A and B are shown apart, each in its own frame.
Chain A
Amino acid sequence: MYQWDFAVVWSYRWLFVNGLGVTLAFTLAIVVLGLLAGLVSGLARLSSFAPLRWLSQGYVEVFRCTPVLVQLVWFYYALPMLAGIEMTATTAGILALSLYGGAFYSEIVRGGIASIETGQSEAALALGMTPAQSMRRIVLPQALKRMVPPLMNQSIIQLKNTSLVSVLAVPDLLYQGQAAAHDSYRPLEIYTVVAVIYFVVLFPLTLLVNRLERRLARAD
């Protein structure tokens, strides 16, 4: 029978705190940048200008159809050689994960906008709005409301994906956990605590998404 000893974990508490800080900061960065990429790409996907649509679709498919770990490694090792630029692990990680998330956000944005009845934009155009005004004033505000739950779900996945940057030695929660595990010879306790920390952060967020989904369902 294994003798659990969580007391040892306490001495590594600052590693966990720092790691969690890096994980959260990373998440914030890739969610914000990813949303930006997703919004641009989602709108481009609905453009009447065909090359923009192709570009957007190409971007989405490339990032959806390759493993995110492969993307991370490619951005860190391959892209700098290709582009002839130095890139820190953090930069490569943020770039890869933002673009990866952006591909999924893009589909959510596209789907959200497409879900608004065409009668809405027709009414807006009939009033004399330009397509851009119709999008900004009428379609997007309604679509955004419907997009919030799936966007939050994707952001939760993004937080989990940050654990992958540990392979590039970015000192996130998992990376610090690995360091603590090696140092203490107590991987079982350490990795259990790492898992619990992720859970404690994410579980309330999923509850929040569920509540939002129910509220929106009632409002419709």
Chain B
Amino acid sequence: MSEQPMIEVAALSKTFGENTVLRSVDLKVARGEVVALIGPSGSGKSTLLRCLNLLVVPDGGRVRVGELSFAFGSSARLPGTQALAKFRAATGMVFQQFNLFPHMTVLANVMEGPLTVRRMARPAAETLARSLLAKVGLSDKAEQYPSRLSGGQKQRVAIARALAMEPAVMLFDEATSALDPELVGEVLGVMQALAAEGMTMVIVTHEIAFAREVADRVVFLRDGVILEDGPARQVIDSPREAATQAFLSHFHRQREA
């Protein structure tokens, strides 16, 4: 790989009180690559993802996304408010619970980033927002309030809202886990289309079939350590590590139950 990776995490560690959640994690994600992050509950998937946009501030290590890089540790100074905001503006995040702004219409939700953070003019922001709503198939919901939408529609708005920042990477934390089963497909469809466009993505998911289908790489995390990292099909179909095998088989049983 000659080009420098889009995301680079080195020796990342995080402890909450007594609880060490990430233990010197290294991860590289190339431009346009889609990486699925899987692992048992409490293994640190969300924490790792949230370290990528510094919603969680690591205790040690380095995080770089695009050109912006931060080092953490006893000697490093914590990034300031403006630096943090700038860093986060370059990474889009989609949450399990959608977290749409309930006091704003769908259109205003999507325009919020461009207006407040990017300081775009209102007409330009609206054009951008409407085109993104069209992209996620929700043009007709622009004037609605989020409370009137189904879970799947809410999550697609949330994706449009994140895309409105024109981020270099997109992070998804169990974007479909809060959805009724019949609504999962429409959200995965949008994510798949994004991947096909060449968006760099890190996806925390329990949708193993989707990870196998859409991700280039699957990373298996357990107890804050990356135990396996390889091509999606290989990791899911024939994992090298016993722990990955155990996790995946447990997962199949759960699915069938």
Contacts and interface: CB of A to CB of B under 8 A. Distances in A.
Contacts of B72: none
Contacts of A133: 85, 116-117
A120 interface: yes
A129 B117 contact: yes
Contact of A145 (B91, B101, B103): B103
B112 interface: yes
B105 interface: no
B113 interface: yes
Interface residues of A, number: 19
B38 to A, nearest CB: 22
A128 B102 contact: no
Contacts of A192: none
Interface string B49-93: 000010100000000000000000000000001101110111111
Nearest to B115: A137
Nearest to B93: A126
Given A133-B116, A133-B117, A138-B101, A127 B81 contact: no
Nearest to A131: B81
Contact of B86 (A120, A126, A128, A138): A128
Contacts of B162: 126-127
A112 B88 CA distance: 27
A120 B101 contact: yes
Q: Identify which of B55, B81, B116 gathers the most chain A CB atoms within 10 Å of its CB.
A: B116
B175 interface: no
Given A126-B55, A127-B89, A137-B112, A119 B99 contact: yes
Contacts, number: 66
A129 B85 contact: yes
Contact of B95 (A123, A128, A129, A137): A123
B103 A128 contact: no
B73 to A, nearest CB: 21
B113 to A, nearest CB: 4
Interface in A133-187: 133, 137-138, 141-142, 145
B245 interface: no
Contacts of A127: 88-89, 112-113, 116-117, 161-162, 165
Nearest to B89: A128
B33 to A, nearest CB: 21
A138 B103 CA distance: 8
B97 interface: yes
Contact of A128 (B97, B99, B117, B158): B117
A125 B117 CA distance: 10
Contact of A122 (B95, B102, B116): B95
B88 A125 contact: yes
Contact of A130 (B85, B101, B158): B85
Contacts of B90: 128
A128 B81 contact: no
Interface in A91-141: 117, 119-120, 122-131, 133, 137-138, 141
Contacts of B102: 142
Given A123-B99, A128-B85, 19 more contacts: A117-B97, A117-B99, A119-B95, A120-B101, A125-B55, A125-B88, A126-B55, A126-B88, A126-B91, A126-B93, A127-B116, A127-B117, A127-B161, A128-B86, A130-B81, A137-B116, A138-B112, A141-B103, A142-B103
